């Protein structure tokens, strides 16, 4: 019985070690991709003669939105892995919730930037606010002059 518990502990430790190595590789790739995208955007804007503060800010905004989506996807993957580890299910659920919130916020920001910033992009407008507190994930869409829609 003790040998079986020890074997499970070793397997769990190995799985956590593999997950941490994957996470480390993902972070390096994420940072590298972000700076590569920034360089490509600056080059394209300069080639098209559209190098202005507004186009640069929009490009940086799109890159940050993309980073948020990638970090969210990474959190979802880590959370899913933690759901399989005894005693880590609560953390896994929290990571999945935070990942979903980041993917949603990144997608919302991308949509707003593609629609021209503060416009009504795709028939919806407003401010998306997310927060995680304990076991609660709050996602609130506020629209000016309208009621607040809350998902809890």
> Where do the structural domains in the chain lie, given as residue ranges?
2-124
Nearest residue to 84 (alpha-carbon basis) of 101, 72, 96:
96
DSSP category for residue 1: -
**What is the band of 2 on the pLDDT scale with cuts at 50, 70, 90?**
low
Q: Judge whether residue 9 has pLDDT over 90.
A: no
Contact criterion met (CB below 8 Å) for 75 and 26: no
Q: Which of 32-36, 72-76, 84-88, 140-144 has the lowest mean pLDDT?
A: 140-144
- Compute the mean pLDDT over every residue in the chain, rounded to the nearest whole number: 74
Cα–Cα distance for residue pair 148/152, rounded to 1 Å: 13
Residue 8 burial (CB < 10 Å; 0-12/13-18/19+)? exposed
Q: Judge whether residue 118 has pLDDT over 60.
A: no
Q: Which of 10-14, 29-33, 94-98, 114-118 has the lowest mean pLDDT?
A: 114-118
Q: Is 53 helix (H, G, I), strand (E, B) or coil?
A: helix
Predicted local distance difference test score (pLDDT) of residue 130 = 64
Predicted local distance difference test score (pLDDT) of residue 119 = 38
Residue 15: C-alpha distances to residues 20, 35, 84 (Å): 9, 31, 10
Residue 103: phi and psi, rounded to 5, are -60, -45
Residue 17: phi and psi, rounded to 5, are -65, -45
**What is the band of 121 on the pLDDT scale with cuts at 50, 70, 90?**
very low
CA 12 distance to own-chain centroid:
26
Q: Judge whether residue 131 has pLDDT over 80.
A: no
Q: Enter the pTM of the model.
A: 0.57
Which structure tokens are listed for 89?
């299910």
pLDDT one-digit tens code per residue, 51-110: 677 777 887 888 888 888 988 888 898 888 888 888 888 998 999 999 999 999 999 998
Cα–Cα distance for residue pair 131/133, rounded to 1 Å: 7
- Please indicate whether residue 12 or residue 120 has the higher confidence score (pLDDT): 12
């Amino acid at each position: 019985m003790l040998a079986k518990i020890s074997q499970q502990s070793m397997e769990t430790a190995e799985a956590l070690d593999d997950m941490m190595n994957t996470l480390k590789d993902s972070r390096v790739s994420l940072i590298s991709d972000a700076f590569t995208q920034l360089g490509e955007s600056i080059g394209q804007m300069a080639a098209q003669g559209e190098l202005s503060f507004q186009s640069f800010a929009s490009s940086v905004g799109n890159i940050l939105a993309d980073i948020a989506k990638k970090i969210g996807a990474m959190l979802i993957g880590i959370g899913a892995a933690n759901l399989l580890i005894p005693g880590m299910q609560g953390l896994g659920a929290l990571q999945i919730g935070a990942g979903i919130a980041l993917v949603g916020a990144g997608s919302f920001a991308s949509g707003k930037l593609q629609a021209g910033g503060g416009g009504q992009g795709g028939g919806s407008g407003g401010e998306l606010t997310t927060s995680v507190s304990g076991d609660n994930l709050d996602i609130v869409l506020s629209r000016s002059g309208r009621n607040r829609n809350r998902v809890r």
